[in-house]
Structure 1
C-alpha cells in the first residue's frame, strides 16, 4: 500500500500517541529511518518497506475535508463520515458573524470559556500552547516580572503554575511553543539584546536557555514555530525591516537566517506557523492593510503571499493556528471587538470568518491554538482579568 506519512499520523489516529499502543524509543520516531531529511531537497521517505508519497492514498487524492473515515484494511476511503464540519448537506450560513437559526450550528461543539488563572499577579502578552500526546497540553506565558511560566493538562487535571525563569534581562516577548515528539517541548522567546532564545524539555528536565541570535536587521514581537517531523524545528520572526525571517533546526545544526519577504507594505504583527504534514509549513501574518496573509512551503518552494482577509472590523495582534489532520488548518484572531474569530481551510477552500465570542469583558491578547487529536482544538487567550482563558472544540 502506498500512503502519505505525516510525522504524527496513522490513518485516523496520531501515531506518536502512546494511547494508540506505540512505544516511544530513543530520539527518533520508530517508523522513521535514520536517513537525513533536507526539506529544500524533496526526497521520498523510506521506512519499514513503505514508500511515502505526499497526498496519495491508493489511487485517490487524500482529502480529509470530504470527511471520510479511513479503513486500514482497504486502499480507498469508504463512504463513512466522521468530520463534524461537514455534517449532513448543510453548511452554516453566516451573516455579520452570526448563524441563521435554520442551519446547523457546528459551534455547539465548542465549550464555554474556562478561567485557568495566572501566575502571581497575572501575565502580559499572549499564551503559547503545545501538545506532545493525546490529551496533553502545555501552556506558557510571560509573567509581569518577565519570567516564563508553565501550566499543563496531564489528561486528568491542570497543574499549578511553574516558573521556568528567563535569559539574563528577562523576556521581551510572549513565548512560542511546539512539540516534535512524545515528551518533547521546544519554547522560544525574544530576550536579552532582542535575540531569539530557546529552552526545551527533553523528557527528563528543562535545558538552559540558548541564544540563537537574530536576523541582520533585528526583530520585533514574538517568534512563531512549527515542526513537520521528529527533530525538526522551523522558526519565524518579524524583522525590523518588516519582512518574514526564517531559521531552522535540521536535526544536527541551526541554519542561518533566511529572508522570506512580505506582502505589500510589510508585516504588521508577529508571525505564526503550523505544519499539517511532512515537508509542509504554513505561515500567517497580519499585513499593513490589517488583513491576514498566508505563505506556505509545499516541499519544493515557498509560495507567494495569499490575502485571506479579516473579520468584520479587522483584528489585532498575531494569528493563533493549529492543525488536527492532513490538509486542515484552523486560524484564530482577536477581533477589534475583543471577540475570538475563526477561519479554517477544509482541504478545498477557506471558509468565512466566524465569531466564537469571548469570556466576560472580552479577550485582551491574541489567541493561541493547539490540537492533540482528530476534531480537537484547544484555544487560549488572556482575559480582562489578566488570567488565561481556555475554549475547546471536540
Structure 2
C-alpha cells in the first residue's frame, strides 16, 4: 500500500541507499533531519493522527513524502499553500489513503500544511521568504496564556495608552470582560446577556467602551461603559449572519458592520445623536467583517471572500471603494488594527492555525508574515500607541492567548 514514489532512507535497504548519487543522498539525509526535528518538537501532530489509528511508522512515511516534496519546491520560493496544492497533484491518492482512517479533510489540510511550513522554516534558516515566514520575531512577544474558557473569538478595545479591555463569550453564553490597567490583568467579570456571536468592542474616547453582539433573535445588541457604569443592553435590530465589527471615526460616532442574510456587508452608524438606518454596502462575504478607522473620515473594512481570500473595501471621506482581493487562504474572518495614520495591520488565522499578518505601510501591502501560535478562533487586534499592537485569540485549551508587538 505504502510504496508510491518517494521512499525514505529508513525504509530503504542500506545497499540501495549507498547506490544513490551524492546529491540525492544529501537530500534524503536532509529529509530525515527535518523529520526527526518535527517528531521531536511537534509531536502533537503525531498524537493527533494516532487518535485516528495512524501509527508512527505510517505517519513518518506520509511526513517524509511531504518534506521531500517541500524541499523540491522550496527553491521556487513558493508559499506553503502553493506547495500543498502541488503535493496534492503529485500524490492524488493521498486523500483516499487518509480516508481509510476516517480523518476529516480539514484535519488533513491543517496537519500537512503545518509540516510544509515547518520544513520551509527549517530550509530558510529562520529568514522569511516571499510567502509566510517563521514567527513571531520582528518585535513580537508572546504568546501568553490569560486563562478563561472561551466559546467565541475575543473582541478588544483600548481607551488610553497602556489600557486594554478584552471581551469574550463564556460557557453560559454571557459576555465576560478582562482588562489590563497598566500594571496587571484584572479578573474576569460577567456583564450578562445571552450571546450568539463573538463580541466586538471599540472606544471613541477616554473611559468609553462600546460593545456589540448578536442576540438570540439574530439582532444587533449594544452595551456601553460611560465612565461610571455599564448601561443595559439595547436592541439595534437587523438580521445578522455573522459576528459584528465596530470602528469609530471621531468622538461620539460609531460605525457597526455585519454580514446580512444575503451575505452582503451592512453598516449601521451612530452619528452623535441617533442611530441611522442600515446601509447595504454589497459584496459576498463568507465571514464576519473587520473594521478600523485611522483618521477622522476614513474606514477600512475587511472580510473573507468567496475564494477564502482576504477582501478589502474602504471609505475615503466621500465614497466607498469597490472590493479588492488581497489574497491568502483564511480560516474564518480577519481582524485589523492601525498604529498611525495610513498604516494598517491585518491578522488572520491560516490553514495551519497559525496567526498571519499583512501590513499596509502607506504605499503598498507587504507579503504575508507567519507569527506562529495555535489558534482555535479568529484573532482580534488593537493598537494603543504608534509603536504598539496587541493581538488576542482563543488557544488550544479554549483559553485566551495574547501576543504583542512593541516597536
TM-superposed CA distance for 1:287, in Å, is 0.7
TM-superposed CA distance for 1:192, in Å, is 2.9
**Separation in 2, partners of 1:334, 1:251:** 35
TM-superposed CA distance for 1:93, in Å, is 5.1
Q: SS of the counterpart of 2:214?
A: strand
Q: Which runs of 4+ in 1 moved over 2 A?
A: 92-96, 105-108
Corresponding residue for 1:297?
A: 315
Q: 1:330 to 1:203 in 2, by over 3 A?
A: same
Corresponding residue for 1:210?
A: 234
Corresponding residue for 1:130?
A: 157
Within the candidate set 256, 268, 281, 1:235 is matched to 256
**Separation in 2, partners of 1:292, 1:106:** 21
**Separation in 2, partners of 1:113, 1:93:** 20
- TM-score normalised by the chain length of structure 2: 0.68
Quote the RMSD (CA, aligned, Å): 1.2
Corresponding residue for 1:34?
A: none
Within the candidate set 134, 144, 150, 2:171 is matched to 144
Within the candidate set 265, 280, 283, 1:244 is matched to 265
Which string of whole-angstrom CA distances, capped at 9 and with x for unpartnered residues, describes residues 125-164 of structure 1?
2000000000000000001110000000000000000000
**Separation in 2, partners of 1:379, 1:107:** 14
Structure scoring higher RCO (CA < 8 A, sep ≥ 6) equals 1
Which string of whole-angstrom CA distances, capped at 9 and with x for unpartnered residues, describes residues 316-369 of structure 1?
1111110010000100001110100000100000111110000xxx11000000
Q: SS of the counterpart of 1:107?
A: coil
Is the contact made by 2:136 and 2:371 (CA closer than 8 Å) also made in structure 1?
no
Greater helix fraction, Structure 1 or Structure 2:
2
Is the contact made by 1:94 and 1:354 (CA closer than 8 Å) also made in structure 2?
no
Is the contact made by 2:247 and 2:293 (CA closer than 8 Å) also made in structure 1?
yes
Q: SS of the counterpart of 1:326?
A: coil
TM-superposed CA distance for 1:106, in Å, is 8.9
Corresponding residue for 2:184?
A: 157
- TM-score normalised by the chain length of structure 1: 0.70
**1:378 counterpart = 2:390:** yes
Is the contact made by 1:200 and 1:207 (CA closer than 8 Å) also made in structure 2?
yes
TM-superposed CA distance for 1:240, in Å, is 1.0
Corresponding residue for 2:133?
A: 98
Gaps of 5+ in 1: 1-91, 100-104
**Separation in 2, partners of 1:378, 1:106:** 13
- Rg: which structure is higher? 2
**Separation in 1, partners of 2:397, 2:243:** 22
Corresponding residue for 1:82?
A: none
